[in-house]
Chains A and B, each alone.
Chain A
Amino acid sequence: MTLEIHGLSRRFGGLKAVNDVTTTIADKSIHSIIGPNGAGKTTLFNLITGALAPDEGKVAFNGNDITGWTPERLAHAGIARTFQRTSIFKELPVIENVALAVRSRRGLNRSMFCSMAQEKAIREESREILARVGLNGKENIRAGSLAHGFQRALDIAIGLALEPKIMLMDEPLAGMSRGDRETVATLITRLREELGVAIVVVEHDVGMVMRLSDRITVMQHGKVIAEGPPSVIREDEAVKNAYLHGNFAA
């Protein structure tokens, strides 16, 4: 499994939000994309996940050109994402949030029949996924009434239910308490270790990124200014200049 991004560009009016970005996400790696505000991280993310179409360049997944695929097609191909602002089905029970994704993966979205046994298997699987992210015992709570940290975990659980090969997380630690950040960070490492999911993270918390990542891509003004393992990025002059305020200590 590799995700190859080649010469990807996207313009908004006169602004090149993403300018000729090339990088490769390796199998089972945790790959972070960082950069100052407005560097084009989220745009790049949206280009990969099908929320936006690129002007130039291509994205290939396992050698298949997936450029411009719709989100639902990408989901079935094994590319899942989570959202910067937690995106769940708030009015539905926690377990149903995950069950929806399980059914979708099983190709049941248009099914007008589902046997009791099949539905039971779906619920059982959903329960296991919830346990994996620490939501066991909360299956029947309305998703919107979960605490913030749990909602983020549920967002990740929904993504996991798709059995993705790669999971893209848009600022998974944003707006969380210190304790919750640690928990989500631990969850991310475990997912990679236990499930072998490659994880792409767009993140502001540079300290956490340095600890978690196998590889880091640093963007500024839509371009990649540095790429490498954390030890290399830490010493990179261009990166130090990009982060003038010195909040770059790990």
Chain B
Amino acid sequence: MTSSIAMQSKPSSVEMKQSRTPYLAAFILLAIVGATLPLWVTGNPFLLMLASHAVIAAIVALSLDLLTGNTGLLSFGHAAWYGFGAYLAGLLSKNFSAEMVLIIPLTIVAACLVAAVVGAILVRQIGKTFAILTLALSQIFYALVFVLSDQTGGEDGLQGIPMATLFGNTVASSQAWYWLLYGVLIISLGGALYLRTTPLGRAWLAIRENTERASFIGVNTGALKLIAYVFSAGLASLAGALFVLFNGAVSPDVLHWFESGKILMYVVLGGVGTIVGPVFGAALFTFLEHYVSSYTDAWLIYFGGLFVLIVIVAPGGLFGIGRSIYARFKTGKGQTT
């Protein structure tokens, strides 16, 4: 039965590197530095706060990579779901309960439901149309904050959010907050890496690679894109909810297109589709943003330049650079002895 027919072409020798070592190394480095951070910045509470913001940014970046990195759908309005989570969790904690175990799941479920309805329309579009529609969606959410300003506080933002509790205990110390946020990041990261190994995650990559072919092997591309969109929105809303509870207030800025642009930059900076890369991208961006903007008001010019440079020189982002350095190091070591 199994007859092999030799092709009359030269055999290709480009073996595909399936090494997981760079992923693993990056993951472990991140885990160790991240988890021990509160211990070596005890004298500098501001740094810990900045790190907490970086962790939240990392969760949002991860959520966008779930969509863009897996299915190739480019969202220019991802802040919509981040802001949605922030405002909804903020309103819930003011009007309903400050218990995280209640309001965070509620927020995620609500975001997923709305995303499923909106996404059912969005994922039928491809390329530019999808990107523009996501931008439009985030602008609608942005406008809604002002329309409902008696609830949301409009331009002043949503203020006076009570201290959040976790299983009845008030979470007040900045160390506790940091570890909580960090724990959520690690679990989300683990989940995203796990998804990549499942049949669903692999079918997503098929869609990213060649949507037409994917549908002709029986992949329901619309349904799978929608699943990615809903997961992505859910995780972004979780990041938003954590942000508002941590920060104690939220302003409409989180829904502004500029925020969406930043989230996209985290992902591109780190490396689209690499899962771990955007997490680093977000962390690096958050720290750079703070320090560079304290030197110069024109920090956006430098960031714009960096962004252009990354897209042209290193389209694989930081993660791509890291991987090629690793590969060069490895082959170099193999050859010269």
Q: Which of A135-171 contact B (CB under 8 A)?
A: 136-138, 140-142, 145-150, 153, 158, 161-162
Assess whether B148 is interfacial by the CB under 8 Å rule: no
Question: Hey, what's the 0/1 contact readout for B201-232 against A, CB within 8 Å counting as 1?
Answer: 01101100110111111111101100100000
A147 touches B7 (CB 8 A): yes
Q: Which chain B residues lie closer than 8 Å to A120 at the CB level?
A: none
A162 touches B224 (CB 8 A): no
* CB-CB under 8 A for A89 and B16, given A114-B199, A147-B7, A158-B217: no
Assess whether A104 is interfacial by the CB under 8 Å rule: yes
Q: Which chain A residues lie closer than 8 Å to B217 at the CB level?
A: 75, 80, 100-101, 104, 158, 161-162
* CB-CB under 8 A for A141 and B216, given A108-B199, A147-B10: no
A103–B204 Cα gap in the complex (Å)? 13
B198 touches A114 (CB 8 A): yes
Q: Which chain B residues lie closer than 8 Å to A111 at the CB level?
A: 198-200
B2 touches A128 (CB 8 A): yes
B213 touches A158 (CB 8 A): yes
What size tier do the contact residues of chain A reach? 35 or more
Q: Which chain A residues lie closer than 8 Å to B195 at the CB level?
A: 112
User: Which segment of A24-32, A186-194, A198-206 sits at the interface?
Assistant: A186-194
Assess whether A231 is interfacial by the CB under 8 Å rule: no
Which A residue sits closest to B209, measured CB to CB? A89
A100 touches B15 (CB 8 A): no
Min Cβ gap A125→B in Å is 12
* CB-CB under 8 A for A149 and B209, given A75-B216, A104-B217, A158-B217: no
B7 touches A149 (CB 8 A): yes
Indicate which residue in B3, B209, B215 contacts A71 across the interface (CB closer than 8 Å).
B215
A52–B68 Cα gap in the complex (Å)? 28
* CB-CB under 8 A for A72 and B213, given A111-B198, A142-B14: no
Which A residue sits closest to B218, measured CB to CB? A75
Assess whether B5 is interfacial by the CB under 8 Å rule: yes
B12 touches A87 (CB 8 A): no
Assess whether A93 is interfacial by the CB under 8 Å rule: yes
Assess whether A6 is interfacial by the CB under 8 Å rule: no
B227 touches A49 (CB 8 A): no
Assess whether B301 is interfacial by the CB under 8 Å rule: no
A137–B10 Cα gap in the complex (Å)? 13
B2 touches A131 (CB 8 A): yes
Q: Which of A171-194 contact B (CB under 8 A)?
A: 177, 179-180, 182-183, 186-187, 190, 194
Residues of A bordering B, CB below 8 Å = 49, 70-73, 75-76, 80-81, 83, 87-93, 96, 99-101, 103-105, 108-114, 128, 131-134, 136-138, 140-142, 145-150, 153, 158, 161-162, 177, 179-180, 182-183, 186-187, 190, 194
10 further A-B contacts with Cβ under 8 Å, apart from A145-B14, A153-B7, A187-B5, are A72-B220, A89-B206, A92-B205, A100-B202, A100-B206, A100-B214, A104-B217, A109-B199, A110-B227, A128-B2
Residues of B bordering A, CB below 8 Å = 1-12, 14-16, 18, 195, 197-200, 202-203, 205-206, 209-210, 212-221, 223-224, 227
Offer 28 A-B interface pairs, CB within 8 angstroms, sorted by A.
A70-B215, A72-B215, A72-B219, A76-B218, A87-B210, A87-B216, A89-B206, A92-B205, A93-B16, A96-B202, A99-B202, A100-B214, A100-B217, A104-B217, A110-B200, A131-B4, A132-B3, A133-B4, A134-B7, A136-B4, A138-B12, A141-B15, A142-B16, A147-B7, A147-B10, A158-B213, A180-B9, A190-B5
